[in-house]
Amino acid sequence: MFLPLVQNAALLLALILIYDAIPLYRNDSRYRLLWQLLSGALIGGICIAVMLTPWTFSPGLIIDCRSVLLCVTGLFFGGVPTFIACVIASAFRLYLGGDGAVIGIGVICTSGLLGIAWRKWRNWNRQSLTHVSYVELIIFSLIVHVSMLLWMLLLPATMAVDVITRIAPPVLTLYPLVTVLMGKLLSNRLERELAQQLKLQDQFLFRSQFNVGNYGISISSPDRRFLKVNPYFCQMLGYSEAELLHKTWDSLTHRGDIDESNKYFRRMLQGEIERYELEKRFIKKNGQLLYTHITVSCQRSFHQVQLVIAGYIDITAAKEAQQALSVSHAELELVLVSSRLGYWMWDLSRDQVTHDQQTANLLGCTFEELSKGKHIWLNAIVDEDRIQTLRALEQHIAGNTTDYRNEYRIRRTDGQLRWIRDVGKVMEWREGVPLKVCGIHQDITEDKQREASLKLAASVYDNSSEAMSVLNRHGEIININPAFCALTGYRDADIIGKKINQLKSDRYSATDFHAIKKDLGKQRRWQGELWIKCRDGKEIITWLTINTIGGKKGEPQQWVVLFSDITEKKHSEQVIWHQANYDPLTSLPNRRMLLEQLYHEIQRAHRRGSKLALLFLDLDFFKEVNDTLGHDMGDQLLIQTAERLRTCVRESDFVARLGGDEFTIILTDAESSQGIERVAAQILSSIAEPYKLGDETAYISVSIGITLYPDDGEAEDVLLKHADQAMYAAKNQGRNRYHYFTESMQQQAHYRMRLIQDLRQAVESSAFELNYQPIVELSSGKITKAEALIRWYHPQRGQVPPAQFIPIAEDTGLIFPIGNWVFQQAVKQSADWRERLGVEIQISVNKSPVQFRDEGVRFQEWLQTLQQLPGGGICIEITEGLLLDTNIAVSEKLLSYRDAGVQVSLDDFGTGYSSLAYLKKFDIDYLKIDQSFTKNIDVDASNQTLCEAIIVMAHKLGMKVIAEGVETQQQAEILKRIHCDYAQGYFYSRPVSSSEFEQRFLNAKRPSTD
């Protein structure tokens, strides 16, 4: 089967003969149709020949290579020849008849159409048939012949399977090979034909340009001898062709260009380059110079140069014009440099910008750096001005403006900002199109600075809030600013041309103004406060400044006068002075003014040899009034107190408020103690009278400390300190009294100061210890609670009672580290007893009100520490006074202790402002009855009744009661009988160390290990 098909395929080579037989008319539009008809008929004949030598499967069913022929025809010959061939082939197949006639015609049409479609697809993709690949031809053939095999499916099923099975292998193997062979043969012929056409075109173009071109051409040998020249080259040099053929390149080349020309020529001969261009000068026959732009290339054979072809363009006119332009540029540059102007030129046709050296100087760079790119100057323009600059330039190029003018800023290479003014104009046009724009750059930075200074000065003059006026040498006003009109009320027409003395106040005499003129004559300026009269007659005080200008070298003398209204300022200064020196609540002098007044009174007493007394007053129970009635009522009380104090002293005496509820009085000329004591007694009596505060009546007293100058001190701070100490002595003696300063007070102050120093050292070294006093449950006699009590043993002072150092610790803030240490030790001790002995002892820790209010972040540290103990391990003891504090932080802390499982005990109950309202408001677990009630409970029935009432009340409120100060068996029995819950006192034990407490009270409670 393969051999008949190979024989049949050989007939297809006739298609190549047809393509070569009539090649002259394919691309000629006059004979194109004739060529298409003729080639279609011949291809149809070949198709008939192919069908006359087929491989016959069965009568009427023949297999041949017509599909290869027709698909290749459609691909390479196009639609018309393919259509004619398909018509002829279809007619002949119909003539042959048989069972496969319809299928044969279908194969013919499908093959031709697929070839035409593939050709259209390549044309749409702009792909030439001269570059068709083997892979593409194989794919194309497989598509065509798979389609041919699909036509066999029209046969009866059994026959179709038999036919496809037998012909598929040779068809899909042999036909693609034949298609590739024919396709590549036709493709190569197309490529040779195209190459031949291009060669003919090149020859035609070369001959036409060589003979009639407008540039010179020469063909030379490798030794640079002319072999052929065109007429235009002869015309350029002035030689005939015969004369040039006897010359070499070097004989005609200018000496200055020979070396460079030979260097490029040698590189081309050596194969480094194939062509080169350069500008070169030749010597014409008449001796003149010919400037040319020469392009040189070569033709090689076996890597050796055979011929050298050169093209010459005459640029003599351009060079001479360029030289003339260079001279003009040099002259222009000289002018521009002398005037410090930079030159620029923009060649629009080549989009090339040229600058000069002065432009580079303006930019702060070298000329070489500026010449590297056209955008260097443009990029130097600040961003805010670049768009405006380009828009102005575009407007001129578009013809919308007669010239280009613009001002902008550039940033030099050193970072400086400079102002530039550009002036330019389109200098060359061609057919209405601009070709070249020229212009200059001018540095106007100094002009801009002067302009800005003048604008600023004018703006300051016009917009200044300070009134200004200019006077001539006669004192007449020649100019004013708007602020002058606003200040004085005068308008320009009212005051200009008038003398300045129109503003003179009646407060001054001619002598005062004569002094001002005298200072102006000496110092040429005057400055000071001056009252002036406004247009409406109102007088204001101003800060006036007069400066003299001119008056030298024949210049007219003038004065610039500046007014600032300081009326409000003077008033504000008085207000500020009053606020700085007087108490805003009572209008009494404050501490600052007291010290200043005390200093002056001491100086005065020293000069006169007299005495003075300083009284330091502190109101008793003022805090209680402030807390119970509110701060507003407290302020009213202070105001009334200040009025009462004024009535108790002479006008020459001095009353001041230091702050809070502290007042001072300076009694001048205090020669006798009787007078001082009389004033003090009058103050005590006046302050003790009732205060009417709204609907409430309040009662207070005052404690007075008295110190004398010069007996008790000679400096104001010493006297104030001594008076303060005397006042505290009066408070300690029961309040509502006065007390003189004594030496013992000073000693007590020194003792307190040393105690503070020792206490600080004790805090740093933790020189404290905790003792524990048991708290007994009366109903069972068990000890489940203990109070932790701090003890301080001083190396020199011995045991220092807490009553001495705790108040000092509260005053100095040392109570915080001390309280924190006590708390940490108590927690550790409770945890130790629980873990080591297995007993639960609740330890009560006293917490100072100062510590409770202001402990800050230590409160959170306490709560974190409490996580080491189960609930109920620690009890916090507070005093009743803390419950009077309305600060919400107190309530929040008590709730936080409650959430952490800490119980709260109210210590010393009954000695303060006990109130059922406070007990109901706060979560209190225990009430501790003060020992002042329990120590006489066995002999005083009223104390017993009071204690019993407290216990009943506490139990009703859900609280338990602890009685302090129990010292006898009888007291304990009475407390047990009236249902007191716990007792504490020396009857059970004094406060003991932790080890002794453990030995006496805890070892017996340890669980047995047997």
Which are the contacts of 858, defined by CB distance < 8 A and separation ≥ 6? 816, 820
Band of the pLDDT at 145, cuts 50, 70, 90?
A: confident
User: CB-based burial of residue 482 (10 Å sphere; 0-12 exposed, 13-18 middle, 19+ buried)?
Assistant: middle
Rounded Cα gap, residues 586 and 656, in angstroms: 9
Token pair, residue 271, equals 């194969």
| pLDDT value of position 858 | 63
Higher per-residue pLDDT: 7 or 808: 808
In 371-481, DSSP assigns E strands to: 404-411, 417-430, 433-443, 467-471, 477-480
| pLDDT value of position 545 | 86
Task: Evaluate if residue 612 carries a pLDDT over 60.
Answer: yes
pTM attached to this predicted model:
0.38
Backbone angles phi, psi at 404, to 5 degrees: -105, 120
Contact call for residues 969 and 984 (beta carbons, < 8 A): no
Task: Evaluate if residue 192 carries a pLDDT over 60.
Answer: yes
pLDDT digits (tens, 9 = 90+) for 112-130: 898 888 888 888 877 777 7
Rounded Cα gap, residues 783 and 962, in angstroms: 13
**Torsion sign over Cα 883, 888, 891, 896:** negative
Token pair, residue 376, equals 């260097």
Contact call for residues 353 and 374 (beta carbons, < 8 A): yes
Backbone angles phi, psi at 811, to 5 degrees: -70, -35
Q: Can you name the residues that pair with 268 across neighbouring β-strands? A: none
Identify the top-confidence range among 174-178, 358-362, 422-426.
422-426
The string of DSSP letters for 490-519 reads --HHHHTTSBGGGGB-TT--HHHHHHHHHH
Token pair, residue 403, equals 């010239």
Identify the top-confidence range among 30-44, 119-133, 445-459, 717-731.
717-731
Which among 583, 663, 584, 660 has a CA at the least distance from the CA of 626? 660
Alpha helices in 225-344 (DSSP H): 231-237, 241-244, 249-252, 255-269, 316-338
Contact call for residues 983 and 781 (beta carbons, < 8 A): no
Band of the pLDDT at 689, cuts 50, 70, 90?
A: very high
pLDDT digits (tens, 9 = 90+) for 50-94: 777 666 666 656 677 777 778 888 887 888 888 888 888 888 878
Band of the pLDDT at 690, cuts 50, 70, 90?
A: very high
Task: Evaluate if residue 341 carries a pLDDT over 90.
Answer: no
Backbone angles phi, psi at 132, to 5 degrees: -70, 135
Q: Tell me how crowded residue 804 is: count the other CB atoms within 10 A of its CB.
A: 14
Rounded Cα gap, residues 70 and 77, in angstroms: 10
Task: Evaluate if residue 428 carries a pLDDT over 60.
Answer: yes
What's the rounded mean pLDDT across residues 960-985?
A: 92
Band of the pLDDT at 966, cuts 50, 70, 90?
A: very high
First vs last Cα of the chain: how many Å apart? 117
Q: Tell me how crowded residue 599 is: count the other CB atoms within 10 A of its CB.
A: 13
Token pair, residue 171, equals 């068809």
| pLDDT value of position 556 | 64
The mean pLDDT value of the chain amounts to: 81
What's the rounded mean pLDDT across residues 963-980?
A: 92
Contact call for residues 738 and 730 (beta carbons, < 8 A): yes
| pLDDT value of position 14 | 56
Task: Evaluate if residue 522 carries a pLDDT over 50.
Answer: yes
Task: Evaluate if residue 752 carries a pLDDT over 80.
Answer: no
Rounded Cα gap, residues 70 and 173, in angstroms: 18
Band of the pLDDT at 656, cuts 50, 70, 90?
A: very high
What's the rounded mean pLDDT across residues 194-217?
A: 60
pLDDT digits (tens, 9 = 90+) for 378-389: 888 898 888 898
Lowest mean pLDDT among 117-126, 250-259, 602-611: 117-126
Task: Evaluate if residue 204 carries a pLDDT over 60.
Answer: no
Rounded Cα gap, residues 738 and 730, in angstroms: 6
Rounded Cα gap, residues 560 and 230, in angstroms: 90
Which among 220, 253, 286 has a CA at the least distance from the CA of 229? 220
Task: Evaluate if residue 263 carries a pLDDT over 80.
Answer: yes
Q: Can you name the residues that pair with 477 across neighbouring β-strands? A: 471
Q: Residue length, the chain?
A: 1010
Residue appearing with tokens 């002065």: 358
Higher per-residue pLDDT: 671 or 208: 671
Task: Evaluate if residue 40 carries a pLDDT over 80.
Answer: no
Identify the top-confidence range among 191-205, 277-291, 454-468.
277-291
Rounded Cα gap, residues 159 and 146, in angstroms: 17
Task: Evaluate if residue 219 carries a pLDDT over 90.
Answer: no
Task: Quote the percentage of the chain above a pLDDT of 90.
Answer: 14
Task: Evaluate if residue 645 carries a pLDDT over 60.
Answer: yes
Band of the pLDDT at 772, cuts 50, 70, 90?
A: very high
What's the rounded mean pLDDT across residues 516-529?
A: 80
Contact call for residues 36 and 74 (beta carbons, < 8 A): no
Task: Quote the percentage of the chain above a pLDDT of 70.
Answer: 85
The three-state secondary structure class of 735 is coil
| pLDDT value of position 462 | 67
What's the rounded mean pLDDT across residues 518-537?
A: 82
| pLDDT value of position 639 | 93
Higher per-residue pLDDT: 636 or 370: 636
Contact call for residues 712 and 742 (beta carbons, < 8 A): no
Contact call for residues 723 and 740 (beta carbons, < 8 A): no
Which among 774, 745, 773, 854 has a CA at the least distance from the CA of 810? 854
Token pair, residue 229, equals 């020249």
Task: Evaluate if residue 99 carries a pLDDT over 80.
Answer: no
Contact call for residues 592 and 581 (beta carbons, < 8 A): yes
The three-state secondary structure class of 429 is strand
| pLDDT value of position 745 | 54
DSSP 1001: I
Task: Evaluate if residue 24 carries a pLDDT over 50.
Answer: no
Task: Evaluate if residue 183 carries a pLDDT over 60.
Answer: yes
Judge if the upstream peptide bond of residue 710 is cis by omega within 30 degrees of 0. yes
Rounded Cα gap, residues 51 and 198, in angstroms: 40
Token pair, residue 116, equals 């035409």
Q: Reading across the β-sheet that carries 289-301, which strands appear in turn? A: 226-229, 216-220, 304-314, 289-301, 275-283
Contact call for residues 7 and 49 (beta carbons, < 8 A): no
Task: Evaluate if residue 249 carries a pLDDT over 50.
Answer: yes
Band of the pLDDT at 25, cuts 50, 70, 90?
A: very low
pLDDT digits (tens, 9 = 90+) for 479-511: 888 888 888 888 888 888 888 878 888 777 777
Which among 756, 876, 763 has a CA at the least distance from the CA of 817? 763
What's the rounded mean pLDDT across residues 579-596?
A: 90
Rounded Cα gap, residues 49 and 65, in angstroms: 10
DSSP 30: T
Lowest mean pLDDT among 542-556, 582-596, 738-752: 738-752
| pLDDT value of position 964 | 92
The three-state secondary structure class of 821 is helix
Task: Evaluate if residue 20 carries a pLDDT over 50.
Answer: yes
Which among 542, 570, 547 has a CA at the least distance from the CA of 558? 547
Rounded Cα gap, residues 839 and 832, in angstroms: 10
| pLDDT value of position 871 | 64
CA atoms within 13 A on the CB side of 131: 7
